[in-house]
């Protein structure tokens, strides 16, 4: 299940791309299939072990085009172990909401991205996330859980303040917000709840079969209750001081 739209976030074979906070690797695998040189980066060693195993399976199954490369790197988002201006593109999906010092992590993304490079950031959307927080304290107080709820305006303003230019945005996973509301209402750790199990089966069916009816339903729901918001940014090609809101012109990504 991809959150980033690869029609908007174009990947060229040979691009050096960082998947920062890769988790189980869903975006890293897609980047690898598209011929990129992928670095899957995360703090969780167990997650990275699974990602490395899948990279190997993809190579064995012939799913990877010639010239593509992939590796896993463990580390801290607040001190990325890469040189300045190193990556052509970066994805940071569903990770910034977990980091207390998010501005420091954002500055690290700016540092390691090449001038002219593109960045795709996804975070939980404000309204669906607000409902989850209201329904369940466990949802946002568990160790390693979410520490803030972003509005899109706040997310864009923070990246603009350090020098990024803002491109387009969209919402994703409108069918998934009700599932998390159910989970929060019945208990986020109660995987055996009949209602949660039934809705989960519908989501799995949707992901596997991708029927037209659910595709259309999700397209209609995304702007209203899409579980994630995706914002696309660019690092200016020439060094510059952050522009004031009145003077800044958004770049198309």
Answer whether residue 46 is part of any domain: yes
How far apart CA 138 and CA 183 sit, in angstroms, is 11
Answer whether residue 28 is part of any domain: yes
More confident residue, 238 or 41: 41
Predicted local distance difference test score (pLDDT) of residue 78: 98
Predicted local distance difference test score (pLDDT) of residue 248: 41
Answer whether residue 106 is part of any domain: yes
Domain count along the chain: 1
Decide: 93 and 122 in contact? Cβ < 8 Å.
yes
pLDDT tops 70 at residue 240: no
Residue 9, helix vs strand vs coil: coil
Answer whether residue 104 is part of any domain: yes
Predicted local distance difference test score (pLDDT) of residue 252: 40
> Could you say which DSSP state residue 21 is in?
T
Between helices 152-161 and 102-112, what is the axis angle to 10°?
Answer: 50
Predicted local distance difference test score (pLDDT) of residue 187: 92
In order, the DSSP letters of 180-234 are HHHHHHH-TT-TT-HHHHHHHHHHHHHHHH--HHHHHHHHHHHHHH-SEEEEEEE
**CB within 8 A of 59, min separation 6: which ones?**
none
pLDDT above 70: percentage of residues in the chain: 94
> Could you say which DSSP state residue 93 is in?
E
Decide: 16 and 36 in contact? Cβ < 8 Å.
yes
H helices present in 67-211, as ranges: 102-112, 126-135, 137-141, 152-161, 177-186, 194-209
Instruction: Tell me the residue range of the domain where 157 lies.
Output: 16-125+135-172+227-234
Average pLDDT over residues 169-179: 97
CATH code (residue 66): 3.40.50.150
**CB within 8 A of 83, min separation 6: which ones?**
112
Choose among 85, 80, 73: nearest CA to 22.
73
Question: Which run of H or of E encompasses 27?
Answer: helix 26-33
Answer whether residue 93 is part of any domain: yes
pLDDT tens per residue, range 190-238: 989 999 999 999 999 999 999 999 999 999 999 999 999 999 999 999 7
Predicted local distance difference test score (pLDDT) of residue 142: 84
How far apart CA 177 and CA 142 sit, in angstroms, is 19
Question: Which run of H or of E encompasses 53?
Answer: helix 45-60
pLDDT tens per residue, range 82-103: 999 999 999 999 999 999 999 9
Average pLDDT over residues 139-158: 93
Predicted local distance difference test score (pLDDT) of residue 239: 59
Entry field: residues in the chain: 253
Buried b (16+ CB within 10 A) or exposed e, 45-78: eebbeebeebbeebeeeeebeeebebebeeeebe
pLDDT tops 60 at residue 244: no
Predicted local distance difference test score (pLDDT) of residue 189: 87
The β-bridge partners of 70 are 38
């Amino acid at each position: 299940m991809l959150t980033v739209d690869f029609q908007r976030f174009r990947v060229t074979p040979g691009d050096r791309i960082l998947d920062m906070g890769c988790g189980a690797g869903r975006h890293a695998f897609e980047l690898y299939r598209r011929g990129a040189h992928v670095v899957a980066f995360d703090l969780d060693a167990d997650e990275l072990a699974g990602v490395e195993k899948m990279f190997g399976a993809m190579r064995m199954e012939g799913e990877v085009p010639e010239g593509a490369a992939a590796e896993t790197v463990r580390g801290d988002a607040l001190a990325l172990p890469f040189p300045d201006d190193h990556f052509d593109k970066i994805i940071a999906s569903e990770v910034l909401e977990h980091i207390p010092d998010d501005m420091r992590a954002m500055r690290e993304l700016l540092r390691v991205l090449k001038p002219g490079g593109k960045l795709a950031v996804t975070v939980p959307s404000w309204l669906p996330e607000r409902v989850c927080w209201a329904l369940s304290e466990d949802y946002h107080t568990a160790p390693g859980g979410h520490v803030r709820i972003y509005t899109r305006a706040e997310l864009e303003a923070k990246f603009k303040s350090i020098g990024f230019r803002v491109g387009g945005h969209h919402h994703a996973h409108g069918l998934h917000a009700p599932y998390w509301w159910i989970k929060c209402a019945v208990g986020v750790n109660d995987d055996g709840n009949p209602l949660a199990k039934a809705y989960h089966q519908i989501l799995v069916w949707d992901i596997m079969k991708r029927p037209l009816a659910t595709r259309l339903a999700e397209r209609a729901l995304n702007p209203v209750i899409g579980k994630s918001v995706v914002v696309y940014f660019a690092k200016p090609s020439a060094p510059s001081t952050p522009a004031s809101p009145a003077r800044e012109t958004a770049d198309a990504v």
